[in-house]
Amino acid sequence: MDRDPDHKAWMSLRLSRVLDDIGANRQVVKKRREIFLLREAVDTIINKLHGTNHTCFHFGSQSEGTTTLGMNSDIDVLLCDNDTNIMSDWLDWEAGMQNCLMVKEESTPPQHYWLQWIRRDSPEPVRYNEDEDFLPHIDGRVFVSNKILQHIGKLVYGNDFICSGPSISNSEEWDYVYAYKCKVLPPEVDRWFYRHGRRHWPSPEMMQAARECSCFLVPDGHFESLNENIEWRLSPSQIERILVFSFTTVQLKCYVVLKMIKKYIMEQYLSHHSKLTSFHCKTVMFFTIERISPEKWREDRLIGCIGYCLQTLEFFLMKGYCPHYIIPEVNLFEGKITRRYQLLLLEKLKENLNNNLMILYDLQYDSLGQRFRSPTTDMFETRSTICRKINNVLAGDLIQQVHRNFLNMANNELNPKQFLRFFTFISIIHENDYVIHILTRYERRAISVLKPLIYSFLASVTSSFYIQHELQFTPEIFQLYERSLDTDVTSSRLKLASMLYCRGYLRRAVDVLNDVERRYDDNVYAVCGCGRKCEGEKPPDVFSESAINDWNYDTAIRKVAPCVRFTRLEAFCVPPILLYEMNRAVNNDVQFRNGADRRWMDMAVIDSRPYLFYLQYLTYGKLGLRHRQVQAHRDLIKCFRNRDMIRTLHHPETADNLLGHCWEMEGNLLEALNCYRNSVQNVPRNNAANWHIRRLTGNQ
């Protein structure tokens, strides 16, 4: 690169355009933030309905909007336990709650606290009892272990359990951190508000918003501490999110490039023993924005701004100290990058600063380096195509997350208290205008997203009870079904048709099934909320070119067909053959379920398209419409002969089981047995086909 200022300005504008093209622009950032804030509200409401008093937060690059498709960033979720009262002082004690006192001793590392158990019935410490030797204790005081959640995670996720620092997960795509909320801002965070020398940033408005944020304690001890297992790290994540949300477009682009450079350096120069993280990049951004005047953050100076950030990192590496922006006593290099690799990284940074950031040409993520060289090359996807792809990824992830988390709540263990929460929720959103008024816009939107799912579930459970006890249906049941139809294109309507068939309202069932068939055109995409993915599955293409600037959840759900799920509480609303799906385990099959499987394998779950044809086959058969019944049977067979349809099946083994049952009703037991064997070949364990084979062969 030439050192000529005009040439540098031209190159900065070219880089800015490339970043716009790959999705690092204000429009996409806004969409990402809107969607992840909505997901926070949805997950929090679902937790409340389930009786779990957790508040969900999405932190990290996905929710900040500081990522691109090619960076493959994971999703960071913090779940805050609101049932534990974290005391900074004895005056904070609350009767009847689980209380924990924040304790800091001389040996406690900066940014860390011990959490001492305090009694529920009186403001006194829980004393060590020799019979409870498994509890961590010091000098007779009992403390909360930060390993509890890892132990629970191993039990829940089994062989899929992944642990990285304070996060636990069963997937490389997700990081879950369980945390406690501090009642008041701890002193080390409070001091940040009075730090001397602050200039133009953060602004007074940002500082006021930060004042209203909470701080969290996450289960992460200091790597060199003797008491690492009882230490909880202080995390001001909400404050940091406010700071990132204030970034200008140029600063956001600078941050994205900085993270790409970090990934490249990690891959090229640093061993797996050293780790330069996105949080280091974020900290560098904070200090650089505070140091550099706002006038210099311009699009035609983007390359210079990246240089400013690398100079900040260079300064930290020279000192061997990267201070936490809010808690400067903490050195973020400790436990992450050894001094040897700090010096190696310093050398590489100097090389790149001296050669005018030629490293930008080497960045492979989203083909940024190639685009930077030749931004008009025909081989690259257009900006609108990438924007549409991002829209579809965000929509697909949101829809699956809503359905998956609702699936966790609507399980087979609902009790009267949980039903009461459901009906209380319904009554509040219909009759209490004051409650709706005080909710945030994301909470109101979350309620509108969840309402149809709740109506559908309540309608099906209530109908099952009425059918079981041969009670006369009331108009309220049909009103619940009517309000449930906006969940998506197919699933709620198929649950209605399933109930009508089981109740004996066959003509009405036919009308609903015909309506579903008309709606299920080539523009509808099959999705699954259970966590299963088809081979080579891509996000549903739910947005047209004209709709990419008009993203909304309602547009997305009118283009998707999720799988249909029935819990055991809905057993009388499903054809009898599906009851086998609720008891699919044979012998020790349950031991071979992973964490995702446990959420749905005790339910009857079937893809919408094959269930549509199966219900048509049953209904037309009972009505004596043989020609239509045969056509429904052919349509169901086509699901396995049409390669495009096969790719949309998330539960092919269940579809095979339904096809096998159709062959049974046709009197062709050999074809039925072949279907069940194909099903077992596809999914050997936890498959109801194993029962069907035993049933047909007489091997009970």
Q: What is the pLDDT of residues 295-315, one digit of tens each?
A: 999 999 999 999 999 999 999
Tokens representing 687?
């498959």
Least confident of 67-76, 368-377, 518-527, 565-574: 368-377
Q: Are residues 328 and 405 in the same domain?
A: no
Q: Are residues 385 and 375 in the same domain?
A: no
Q: Round to whole Å and give the CA distance between 395 and 400.
A: 9
Among 567, 588, 613, the domain boundary falls at 567
Mean of all residue pLDDT scores within the chain: 88
DSSP state of 402: H
pLDDT at 354 over 50: yes
Note if the bond before 202 is cis, omega within 30 degrees.
yes
pLDDT at 225 over 50: yes
pLDDT confidence band for 132 (50 / 70 / 90): low
pLDDT value of position 541: 80
pLDDT value of position 529: 83
- Quick one: average pLDDT of 428-447? 72
Q: Are residues 471 and 390 in the same domain?
A: yes
- Quick one: average pLDDT of 253-264? 94
What's 258's domain CATH number? Answer: 1.10.1410.40
What's 594's domain CATH number? Answer: 1.25.40.10
Among 328, 351, 379, the domain boundary falls at 379
pLDDT value of position 1: 44
Q: Is 197 left (phi over 0), alpha (psi -120 to 50) or beta?
A: left
Answer yes or no: is 697 within a domain: yes
Q: Round to whole Å and give the CA distance between 143 and 163.
A: 22
pLDDT at 531 over 80: no
Answer yes or no: is 173 within a domain: yes
pLDDT value of position 451: 87
> What dihedral do alpha carbons 243, 249, 255, 258 form, nearest 10°?
-160
Q: Are residues 167 and 54 in the same domain?
A: no
pLDDT at 122 over 80: yes
DSSP state of 226: T
pLDDT at 614 over 90: yes
Beta bridge partner(s), residue 103: 114
Q: Are residues 81 and 229 in the same domain?
A: yes
pLDDT confidence band for 637 (50 / 70 / 90): very high
Answer yes or no: is 64 within a domain: no
pLDDT value of position 477: 93
Sign (positive/negative) of CA torsion 37, 42, 43, 48?
positive
Q: Is 225 left (phi over 0), alpha (psi -120 to 50) or beta?
A: beta
Determine the angle formed by the axes of helices 5-21 and 302-319, rounding to 10 degrees.
Answer: 90
Q: Round to whole Å and give the CA distance between 59 and 167.
A: 13
Q: Are residues 174 and 98 in the same domain?
A: yes
Answer yes or no: is 69 within a domain: no
Residue 265's Cβ-side half-sphere holds a number of Cα atoms within 13 Å equal to: 28
pLDDT value of position 275: 85
Answer yes or no: is 242 within a domain: no
Q: Round to whole Å and give the CA distance between 474 and 306.
A: 66
Q: Are residues 335 and 346 in the same domain?
A: yes
* Backbone φ, ψ for residue 108 (5° rounding): -75, 125
How many percent of the chain have pLDDT more than 90?
A: 60
pLDDT at 537 over 80: no
Domain that holds residue 530: 31-58+381-567
Q: Are residues 262 and 358 in the same domain?
A: yes
Place of tokens 């015909």: 514
Q: Are residues 361 and 458 in the same domain?
A: no
Helices (H), 469-520: 475-483, 491-503, 506-519
Answer yes or no: is 66 within a domain: no
pLDDT at 413 over 60: no
Q: What is the pLDDT of residues 451-508, one digit of tens each?
A: 899 889 989 999 999 999 999 999 999 999 999 998 999 999 999 999 999 999 999 9
Answer yes or no: is 67 within a domain: no
Among 379, 404, 432, the domain boundary falls at 379
pLDDT at 564 over 90: yes
Answer yes or no: is 68 within a domain: no
Q: Are residues 340 and 487 in the same domain?
A: no
Q: Are residues 699 and 681 in the same domain?
A: yes
Q: Are residues 393 and 365 in the same domain?
A: no
Antiparallel, parallel or unpaired: β 231-235 and 604-606:
unpaired
- Quick one: average pLDDT of 312-334? 96
Least confident of 227-236, 334-343, 437-446, 484-493: 437-446
3-state secondary structure of 215: coil
pLDDT at 619 over 50: yes
pLDDT value of position 456: 92
Determine the angle formed by the axes of helices 608-623 and 491-503, rounding to 10 degrees.
Answer: 20
Q: What is the pLDDT of residues 21-58, one digit of tens each?
A: 999 999 899 999 999 999 999 999 888 888 888 999 99
Q: Round to whole Å and give the CA distance between 536 and 572.
A: 36
* Backbone φ, ψ for residue 83 (5° rounding): -90, -5
Q: Round to whole Å and give the CA distance between 621 and 628.
A: 8
Beta bridge partner(s), residue 118: 99, 125
Let me know the angle formed at the C-alpha of 153 by 148 and 157, rounded to the nearest 5 degrees.
165
The reported pTM is 0.89
The number of domains in the chain is 4
Give the chain's length.
700
Q: What is the pLDDT of residues 578-606, one digit of tens each?
A: 999 999 989 888 888 877 777 788 899 99
User: Within 10 Å of residue 699's Cβ, how many Cβ atoms?
Assistant: 7
> Which of 247-256, 367-376, 538-547, 586-595 is most confident?
247-256
pLDDT at 412 over 60: no
Say if CB 404 and CB 31 are below 8 A apart.
no
